[in-house]
Structure 1
Amino acid sequence: MTIPAPYPIGTPGVPWSADEIATWLAKQTRHRSYQQDVLSVIDALRSRYDIVEYGRLNYASETYPLMAIKSREWRDELPYMLVTGGVHGYETSGVHGALRFAEQHASAYEGRINLIIAPCVSPWAYERIHRWNPHALDPNRSFRENSPAEESAALMRLVADFRDSVLMHIDLHETTDSDESEFRPALAARDGVAYEPGEVPDGFYLVDDSENPQPAFQQAVIAAVAKVTHIAPADRNGQIIGSPIVAPGIIEYPMRKLGLCVGITLARYTTTTEVYPDSPRANPEQCVVAQVAAVCAAIDFALADTGHS
């Protein structure tokens, strides 16, 4: 058994102080462009949708407008559907899956739903291919009142006026090899706890809300994605990332208790997708297509199950 080396920042067993966070931040490097990859795509959609700036992040000398894509034909009596991506900026297919859905499929739902797409919730992290924001905070553990993560607080403000009306919310994520090589070790170091190695699932899976489980909804999404990419099997303990499998490719978390993105509304149907781009059986394009398939299946099921189709 290989004993993992201590994380290179901080003292094992001691939570990070401001000094360690500053050291970590100084090591972060910009690898890609939010303007080029995301904002330019959103700008090209202005003739078809309403584009709104729902917040603005100011980090040192850098400013990031937070943008959402909304249905142009907005009516209060229509069901509200929310699609989010890039809550973890390094999870690339979540961002590009949300944008691809907007480009190729969202117009088919015009006049049938009130659609809101926030494709890149964490643009600073997107550019640095990281999980955290510059304060070493995980936005997807920060969706709660008085959130310390501005990415999370801004999205909560966006949906505040209609949070009770949202029918479906799908949040697009990835699970990558870097979860075990970098992000979970960094989390353990930041919090001053021991890092316990885990197993990265090989394939697509979903996270349902244990406080509001919707098994038929989850299974409909799994069935659609299975036509595009493989579904993650259980590990030797019958689990995925430490949680029992409740159905093939499906686990459950208490969304609001953990401060997860899909807990920000009172939606009946919620799910978090997880694709695995590092699998030898998948590729980045396949992962984007899987995210799009998941969004379409989620909307279609919610419409049909509530008699709106």
Structure 2
Amino acid sequence: MNSASAAYPIGTPGIPWGDAERAQWLSRQTRQRSYESDVLSVIERLRSRFDVHEYGCLEYGPDVYPLMAIRSRNWRADRPVVLITGGVHGYETSGVHGALQFVEQHALDYAGRVNLLVAPCVSPWAYERIHRWNANAIDPNRSFRDDGQAGESAALMQLVASIAEPILLHIDLHETTDTDETEFRPALAARDGKPFEPGDIPDGFYLVDDTENPQPEFQQAVIEAVEKITHIAPADDKGEIIGSPAVARGVIQYPLAQLGLCTSMTNARYRTTTEVYPDSGRVTTEQCNAAQVAAVCAAIDYALSVG
């Protein structure tokens, strides 16, 4: 496959999508699961132990999605802030459920030591449709910049900007799936009028550090914790993971701010993006969620121990 048309059924080779192509793409998207049942119901039962509030609202046609955040009760100015985000890409399921599972099972372990702020499902429209983009065919995880066009990203940036206390840690929970190669990258190439260049999906868990502010010891602490739950992605024959050089076992680096990625929106010393591989025959759904939880706990423990 060497062209967008060969890889994806919408669009003309070499020509970026216009309104008609975006409308055609949107018409193909169907609701496959419920944000209300899967996410909002879980958040609702957490109200007895945490502060919960709506930080924005998305409207896509007849569909309305409240954007919800979970905060530590008894928030204090003299405690560092830990930011946990999931579901920036709605189809990356363990990011959403891993964030919620962490809150349910472990958040109170850190009471009195940190202020926790958790946005477990940043992109609810995409969560329901098991998609990477929002309804406007925009990737929220390339929109964390002042001129970003995704409402999901803008709302989260406003929430984070309202936090006065210093943010020590931001961990953003993601997955790399086989459908990245069969659906989402071909769609991206078609949307942008570019050739589709096939790649490989890493077999295992890995992390994305910041090229401009690398924290190798922090990243390895997370890798070592997750390795107890699931396997770590090896580098390929080129020494790369998903086309980027592996700077350490299970770790690559991206220029976060340049790409407009979620973890670029704070000046936190410790920042990482998890990438779980749910399509492996070696893992279960429960292990994928547990890997996200282990990553969060290890990240917080390291940040608190080192400062």
User: TM-score band, normalised by the shorter chain?
Assistant: over 0.9
Amino acid at match of 2:173: L
Structure-2 separation of matches of 1:123 and 1:68: 13
**1:202 corresponds to:** 203
Displacement after TM superposition at 1:164 (Å): 6.8
Structure-2 separation of matches of 1:73 and 1:109: 12
Structure-2 separation of matches of 1:28 and 1:113: 40
Unaligned runs of 5+ in 2: none
- 5 Å-filtered alignment, 1:158-307, equals 158-162=159-163, 165-306=166-307
- 5 Å-filtered alignment, 1:83-122, equals 83-122=84-123
Q: Secondary structure at the match of 1:130?
A: coil
**Does the Cα contact within 8 Å between 1:6 and 1:12 map onto a contact in 2?**
no
Displacement after TM superposition at 1:8 (Å): 0.2
Pair 1:188–1:163, CA change in 2 (3 A): farther
**Does the Cα contact within 8 Å between 2:2 and 2:195 map onto a contact in 1?**
no
1:91-132 Cα offsets, whole Å, 9 max, x none, are 000000000000000011111101000000000000000000
Q: Secondary structure at the match of 2:162?
A: helix
**2:158 corresponds to:** 157
1:197-222 Cα offsets, whole Å, 9 max, x none, are 00000000000001000000000000
**Does the Cα contact within 8 Å between 1:164 and 1:267 map onto a contact in 2?**
no
Amino acid at match of 2:131: H
Amino acid at match of 1:200: I
1:115-161 Cα offsets, whole Å, 9 max, x none, are 00000000000000000000000000000013210000000000102
Structure-1 separation of matches of 2:50 and 2:142: 30
**Does the Cα contact within 8 Å between 1:163 and 1:265 map onto a contact in 2?**
no
**Does the Cα contact within 8 Å between 2:278 and 2:284 map onto a contact in 1?**
yes
Amino acid at match of 2:96: V
141-150 vs 21-30, which deviates more? 141-150
Structure-2 separation of matches of 1:284 and 1:181: 21
Displacement after TM superposition at 1:163 (Å): 6.8
**Does the Cα contact within 8 Å between 1:13 and 1:193 map onto a contact in 2?**
yes
Displacement after TM superposition at 1:6 (Å): 3.5
141-150 vs 46-55, which deviates more? 141-150
Structure-1 separation of matches of 2:196 and 2:163: 40
1:236-260 Cα offsets, whole Å, 9 max, x none, are 1110111000000000001011000
Displacement after TM superposition at 1:280 (Å): 1.3
Displacement after TM superposition at 1:32 (Å): 0.1
**Does the Cα contact within 8 Å between 1:224 and 1:297 map onto a contact in 2?**
yes
CA RMSD of the aligned region, Å?
A: 1.0
**Does the Cα contact within 8 Å between 2:2 and 2:197 map onto a contact in 1?**
no
Pair 1:303–1:120, CA change in 2 (3 A): same
Amino acid at match of 1:15: P
1:52-75 Cα offsets, whole Å, 9 max, x none, are 100000110010000000000100
Structure-2 separation of matches of 1:118 and 1:161: 14
Structure-1 separation of matches of 2:141 and 2:260: 7
Displacement after TM superposition at 1:162 (Å): 2.5
Q: Secondary structure at the match of 2:281?
A: coil
**Does the Cα contact within 8 Å between 1:163 and 1:266 map onto a contact in 2?**
no
**1:10 corresponds to:** 11
Structure-1 separation of matches of 2:195 and 2:164: 38
Identity of aligned residues (%): 69
Unaligned runs of 5+ in 1: none
Q: Secondary structure at the match of 2:213?
A: coil
Structure-2 separation of matches of 1:164 and 1:273: 24
Structure-2 separation of matches of 1:148 and 1:207: 23
Displacement after TM superposition at 1:179 (Å): 0.2
Pair 1:245–1:108, CA change in 2 (3 A): same
Displacement after TM superposition at 1:284 (Å): 1.4
Amino acid at match of 1:44: R
